[in-house]
A = this chain, B = another copy of it.
Amino acid sequence: MAKRKAYSLLWRTSRCLSNYHSLHSGSPHSIRRFSSGSVFRLLTPCIEQLRKNYQLSFPISSECAGVLPNAVFQRSFNLRSRFYGSTATLIQRSPLFSEVNSDDVSYFKSVLGENNVIQDEDRLQPANTDWMHKYKGSSKLLLLPRSTEEVSHVMRYCNSRHLAVVPQGGNTGLVGGSVPVFDEVIINMSLMNKIISLDKVSGILVCEAGCILENLESFLDDEGFVMPLDLGAKGSCQIGGNVSTNAGGLRLVRYGSLHGNVLGLEVVLANGTVMDMLGTLRKDNTGYDLKHLFIGSEGSLGVVTKVSILTPTKLSATNVAFLACNDYLSCQRLLLEAKRKLGEVLSAFEFLDNHAMDVVLNKLEGARNPLPGMYNFYVLIETTGSDESYDREKLEKFLFGLMEGGLVSDGVIAQDINQVSSFWRIREGIPEALMKSGAVYKYDLSLPLEKMYDLVEEMRTQLGHPANVVGYGHLGDGNLHLNITYPQYDDAVSSCSNWRHC
């Protein structure tokens, strides 16, 4: 029974988690396979039992948006990573899964209505392909549920028919987590886009998983609050995907991770069970806090259908500075100084190297260098506080001190909202600019800060021409986006960039 329950979601996890390789200190060159299926099979009865104990109706939903593969250095040089090679050679479609037939389609139409069962090739094509056009599935069916109940019906049916599914949100993910591997049924969450409630005293927002991040941001803006996360993909990515991928983004340095901000979730499990963990309290220590299992598990345990999230109070004054540093060490020292001297107002600390800047200036329409010259590194600092003039004065004083001390080589503070946007456009436009540069290999790494840029330089040395190795990311969080562009996708680059051969 437990085995059957694992079926309907198993495929969806195949790229995200089944290809989980680990390198550990004890055996630095060994590679082991992490089977999410077995974990799922084990967790399902736990959740079932909890449901029985609580006598609760349990809600699973999630999708992938805006998150990159992770390769993580642990302490010294223990490496934990997920990587994604050529899927054709790694994954075979399991004969245990059924293929969609006309009876299935009829059933889905009876549950969701004619218009929300999509078989049209033109509409399926974008849902079968990721934003990078790197991963392509061949799903014949896309479903658009409008409620948790409908998601539950769909999941229960798929489970009973052994149909593989892939939950999908804004499909803005960069690692192929939100597109089918083979012919999975796509459960797209776009129609579950209602805001359910906002507590205007505490700032606790409850909404459906398909709400687009930017729409939530706009709604909150009118009410005097902000979302505690911000991504370049905010115009398309959905909150359910953000939660399922534990998206960090540009404000993590200020507001922390979703594990801290998500107060509750409603989730539909593979067998259709609805897990109601949709708490709306800032503190809730009753029982085990199971919602954390679904944050960042990329839909492999269930489909997030509703989210309760703590939103910070909106502060009126935002200032942005764009700075240049000559070396990486200066960037690190700048971060330390910013934390100490701008601590309470610091809301973003992003960096990019000159390779990233080059790509942006050459490939991104309308992008302009805010500084008169080119430097080795650039840092974008954003402050958010409650007093425009004081915050600005403080930032100016801070930057003046840095320039005097030689820590930054040049810098400019945005004078108006247009300049704020144009500074941010440089940082947020890097993925788009890279995509226009050829095949892109994307890595998302968490590293001890001091070691972070060594890796970029090492990759550059190893790969040589014609690879362009670019480093940028959230320096405030120790999170590096290492991207490699190449004229075309090439297995030699892929295997080298899978670390162990480099």
Interface residues of A (CB under 8 A from B): 17, 20, 22, 24, 32, 34-35, 38-39, 42-43, 45-46, 49-50, 53-56, 67, 70, 72-75, 80-82, 199, 201-203, 224, 245-246, 248, 252, 256-257, 259-261, 279-290, 292-293, 295-297, 301, 312-315, 332, 335-336, 339-345, 384-387, 390, 394, 446-450, 474, 477-479
Contact = CB atoms under 8 A, between A and B. Distances in A.
A82 B199 CA distance: 25
A336 B201 contact: yes
A15 to B, nearest CB: 15
Contacts of A344: 315, 344-345, 384-386
Chain B CB within 10 Å, residue with most, of A332, A335, A449: A449
Number of copies: 2
Contacts of A50: 39, 42
A176 to B, nearest CB: 15
A314 to B, nearest CB: 8
A394 B345 CA distance: 14
Nearest to A308: B75
A286 B20 contact: yes
A414 to B, nearest CB: 19
B478 A202 contact: yes
B282 A446 contact: yes
Nearest to A50: B39
29 contacts: A24-B56, A32-B55, A34-B54, A34-B287, A39-B49, A39-B50, A42-B45, A42-B49, A46-B46, A74-B279, A74-B280, A74-B281, A80-B284, A199-B448, A201-B332, A202-B449, A256-B256, A257-B260, A280-B448, A282-B477, A283-B474, A288-B296, A289-B296, A293-B293, A312-B343, A313-B339, A313-B343, A340-B386, A344-B384
A293 B288 contact: yes
Contact of A53 (B34, B81, B384): B34
A286 to B, nearest CB: 5
Given A282-B479, A341-B386, A297 B292 contact: no
Contacts of A245: 285
Nearest to A79: B286
